[in-house]
C-alpha cells in the first residue's frame, strides 16, 4: 500500500510544472461548476444552490472590500453604500420605477410598451458597476486625505447616509427616486432572449427557467472568477505594489514617488466597482432592491469575511466569504435546529448571529491573527517566525521603526 503511494508521489513530481500548479485549482473549479448537479447526494449540511448563489455574491463583495482594506490598508466601515448603489442602479435601469419614460434596450420577457427604463441586465450590471465606481471616487476624493481611524469614522458616516437616502428617497420634491421603504420590485429578468435561445440554445430568461437557481449559480460563479482574476492581477502590478506600500508605510510610499491621493482613490474605486457589481447582481437575483438589506451591520459582516479569511489574501478572503455567508444564510439555522433536536428545546441560533461572528473574530485574533489563509507575504514571515521564535518575540518587543525623527 505504502509503496503504491510512493510511486504515485514520485510520478506526480515528474509531471510538468504547469500540471502540478494548475491541477488543484482546476479540480476545485470543476467541483464548483458541477456543484448544483451533485449536491443532492451530499449530506444535508451542504448549502442549497440558492444559498450558494448568495454565498458567491457576498464573496465577490468581500474581494472588492479586500482591495480597499487588505491591499491598501484603508479601513472602510461603509462598504454597504456601494452595495446599495449597485442594487438601486440595477433597479432603476430595469424596472417600471421611472414610469414617466418608456425606454427599452435589449430587454427580455416583457412587452415593448411597458413603461419605465428596461435595459438588458448584462448592460445594467456593467452600468451599475461603473456608476458605483464614480460614487466611490466622489466619496473618496474628500475623505481619503484622512488617515487611519479618521477615515474609518467618515466611511462609517457614508455607509449610514446612503441607506438613509435610499430609505427616504421616495419624495425628492415630488419625485420618487427609490420608492422608500418598499424598495423597487420587480426587476426585469436576466437572460439571453429568444433569438439567442433559438440559435445557440442559451437560456432566454433566468427567472422563468426551470433551472433558475442553476443559471444564477453559474453566472455568479463567473462573476466570482472574474473578480478573483482581477484581484490577483492587480496584486502583482505596479498599482497593487503601490497600494501595499501605502498600507505598510504611507510616508515612505509618498517619498518613493507614490501619489497618495490618486493611488488610494484607485483602490476605493476598484472596491466600489466590485461592490456595485455584486449589489446589482444580488438585486437581479432577488428581483428587487429593498432598503432593509442595507444596514450598517452588513458593512461589518463583509469586513469580518476579509478579516476571517486573511487581509490581503485572495484565497483567504474567498474562504472567509464563503464560510461566513454560509453560516449567515443557512449554517446557523441548521446548527439551531440540530441543537434543538438534541437538547429537545427550541434554540434560535440565528438570533445570536452577530454574537457568533464576534466570537469567531475574537478567536481568530487570538489564534490566527493573519487570517485562515494569510497573505503570501505574511505567511512567509510567519513560517520564518516558527523557526526562530526567539528572534520574532525580540522583534515584537522593541519595534521603534515607525517613529521618524
Partner 1 sequence: MADNLLDAIQLRKEFGGLVASNNVDFAIPRGSIVSLIGPNGAGKTTFFNMLTGVYKPTAGRILFDGEDITGKPPHAITERGIGRTFQNIRLFPLMTAVENVLVGMNCRLRGGIIGAIIRPPRVRREEKLARERARELLAYSGLPTRHTELARSLPYGDQRRLEVARALATEPKLLLLDEPTAGMNPQETADFIGFVSRLPDDRGLTVLLIEHDMKVVMGVSDRVTVLEYGEKIAEGTPGEVQRNERVIEAYLGKGATE
Integer CA distances (angstroms), 15 to 1, 12, 19, 27, in order? 22, 5, 6, 16
Sign of CA dihedral 93, 98, 104, 107: positive
Taking a C-beta distance cutoff of 8 angstroms, is the pair 51, 292 a contact?
no
Looking at the Cβ atoms of 158 and 266, the one nearer to partner 1 is: 266
Q: What is the largest CA-CA distance in the chain?
A: 80
Looking at the Cβ atoms of 226 and 354, the one nearer to partner 1 is: 226
- For residue 257, state whether it binds partner 1 (rule: CB under 8 A): yes
Pairing of strands 116-119, 102-105: parallel
- For residue 393, state whether it binds partner 1 (rule: CB under 8 A): no
What value does the CA radius of gyration of the chain take, rounded to a whole number of Å?
23
d(CA 160, CA 176): 20
> In this chain, which of 215, 258, 277, 318 binds partner 1, going by CB under 8 A?
258
Nearest to 277 by CA among 97, 56, 100, 117: 56
- For residue 256, state whether it binds partner 1 (rule: CB under 8 A): yes
d(CA 368, CA 384): 15
- For residue 251, state whether it binds partner 1 (rule: CB under 8 A): yes
- For residue 198, state whether it binds partner 1 (rule: CB under 8 A): no
> In this chain, which of 118, 264, 329, 378 binds partner 1, going by CB under 8 A?
378
Residues 6+ apart with CB under 8 A from 312: 66, 70, 71, 235, 244, 247, 375, 377, 378
Task: At 94, list the grid cell.
Answer: 430595469
Integer CA distances (angstroms), 44 to 39, 52, 117, 339, in order? 9, 14, 42, 15
Per the omega criterion (within 30 degrees of 0), is the bond before 48 cis?
Answer: no
- For residue 286, state whether it binds partner 1 (rule: CB under 8 A): no
- For residue 381, state whether it binds partner 1 (rule: CB under 8 A): yes
* Interface region with partner 1, contact rule CB under 8 A, candidates 82-90, 171-179, 188-196, 238-246: 238-246
> In this chain, which of 229, 355, 365, 394 binds partner 1, going by CB under 8 A?
229
- For residue 380, state whether it binds partner 1 (rule: CB under 8 A): yes
Q: Please state the φ and ψ torsions of residue 267, each to the nearest 5 degrees.
A: -65, -40
- For residue 252, state whether it binds partner 1 (rule: CB under 8 A): yes
- For residue 220, state whether it binds partner 1 (rule: CB under 8 A): no
Looking at the Cβ atoms of 234 and 319, the one nearer to partner 1 is: 234
Looking at the Cβ atoms of 331 and 374, the one nearer to partner 1 is: 374
- For residue 130, state whether it binds partner 1 (rule: CB under 8 A): no
Question: Least distance from C-beta 311 to partner 1, angstroms?
Answer: 11
> In this chain, which of 215, 239, 283, 319 binds partner 1, going by CB under 8 A?
239
Taking a C-beta distance cutoff of 8 angstroms, is the pair 56, 215 a contact?
no
The single residue listed with the C-alpha cell 446557523 is 332
> In this chain, which of 20, 211, 237, 393 binds partner 1, going by CB under 8 A?
237
Looking at the Cβ atoms of 266 and 281, the one nearer to partner 1 is: 266
- For residue 248, state whether it binds partner 1 (rule: CB under 8 A): yes
| Cβ atoms < 10 Å from Cβ of 61 | 31
The DSSP code sequence of 244-260 is: HHHHH-HHHHHHTT--H
* Interface region with partner 1, contact rule CB under 8 A, candidates 15-23, 27-35, 350-358, 379-387: 379-387
Q: First CA to last CA across the chain, in angstroms?
A: 65
Question: Least distance from C-beta 402 to partner 1, angstroms?
Answer: 8
Looking at the Cβ atoms of 170 and 250, the one nearer to partner 1 is: 250
- For residue 389, state whether it binds partner 1 (rule: CB under 8 A): no
> In this chain, which of 244, 272, 283, 305 binds partner 1, going by CB under 8 A?
244
- For residue 259, state whether it binds partner 1 (rule: CB under 8 A): yes
- Give me the residues that bind partner 1 (CB under 8 A), please: 229-230, 233-234, 237-242, 244-245, 248-249, 251-260, 266, 270, 375, 377-378, 380-381, 384, 395, 400-401, 403-405
Amino acid at each position: 500500500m505504502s509503496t503504491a503511494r510512493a510511486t504515485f508521489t514520485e510520478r506526480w513530481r515528474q509531471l510538468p510544472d504547469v500540471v502540478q500548479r494548475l491541477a488543484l485549482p482546476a479540480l476545485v473549479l470543476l467541483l464548483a461548476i458541477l456543484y448544483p448537479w451533485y449536491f443532492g447526494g451530499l449530506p444535508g449540511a451542504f448549502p442549497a444552490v440558492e444559498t450558494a448563489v448568495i454565498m458567491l455574491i457576498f464573496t465577490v463583495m468581500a474581494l472588492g472590500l479586500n482591495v480597499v482594506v487588505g491591499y491598501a490598508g484603508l479601513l472602510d466601515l461603509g462598504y454597504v453604500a456601494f452595495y446599495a448603489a449597485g442594487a438601486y442602479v440595477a433597479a432603476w435601469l430595469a424596472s417600471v420605477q421611472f414610469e414617466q419614460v418608456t425606454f427599452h434596450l435589449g430587454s427580455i420577457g416583457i412587452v415593448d410598451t411597458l413603461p419605465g427604463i428596461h435595459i438588458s441586465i448584462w448592460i445594467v450590471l456593467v452600468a451599475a458597476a461603473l456608476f458605483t465606481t464614480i460614487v466611490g471616487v466622489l466619496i473618496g476624493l474628500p475623505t481619503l486625505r484622512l488617515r487611519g481611524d479618521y477615515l474609518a469614522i467618515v466611511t462609517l458616516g457614508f455607509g449610514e447616509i446612503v441607506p438613509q437616502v435610499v430609505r427616504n428617497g421616495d419624495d425628492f420634491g415630488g419625485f420618487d427616486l427609490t420608492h422608500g421603504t418598499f424598495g423597487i420590485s420587480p426587476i426585469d429578468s436576466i437572460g439571453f432572449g429568444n433569438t439567442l435561445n433559438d440559435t445557440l440554445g442559451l437560456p432566454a430568461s433566468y427567472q422563468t427557467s426551470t433551472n433558475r437557481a442553476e443559471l444564477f449559480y453559474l453566472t455568479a460563479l463567473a462573476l466570482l472568477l472574474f473578480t478573483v482574476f482581477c484581484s490577483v492581477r492587480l496584486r502583482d502590478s505596479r498599482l497593487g505594489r503601490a497600494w501595499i506600500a501605502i498600507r505598510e508605510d504611507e510616508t515612505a510610499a509618498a517619498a518613493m514617488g507614490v501619489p497618495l491621493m490618486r493611488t488610494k482613490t484607485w483602490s476605493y474605486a476598484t472596491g466600489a466597482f466590485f461592490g456595485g457589481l455584486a449589489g446589482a447582481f444580488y438585486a437581479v437575483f432577488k428581483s428587487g432592491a429593498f432598503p432593509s438589506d442595507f444596514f450598517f451591520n452588513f458593512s461589518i459582516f463583509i469586513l469580518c469575511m476579509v478579516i476571517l479569511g486573511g487581509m490581503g489574501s485572495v484565497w483567504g478572503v474567498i474562504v472567509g466569504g464563503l464560510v461566513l455567508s454560509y453560516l449567515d444564510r443557512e449554517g446557523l439555522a441548521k446548527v439551531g435546529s440540530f441543537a434543538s433536536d438534541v437538547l429537545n428545546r427550541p434554540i434560535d441560533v440565528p438570533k445570536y448571529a452577530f454574537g457568533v461572528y464576534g466570537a469567531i473574530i475574537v478567536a481568530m485574533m487570538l489564534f490566527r491573527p493573519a487570517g485562515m489563509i494569510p497573505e503570501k507575504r505574511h505567511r512567509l514571515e510567519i513560517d520564518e517566525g516558527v523557526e526562530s521564535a526567539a528572534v520574532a518575540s525580540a522583534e515584537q518587543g522593541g519595534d521603534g521603526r515607525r517613529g521618524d525623527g
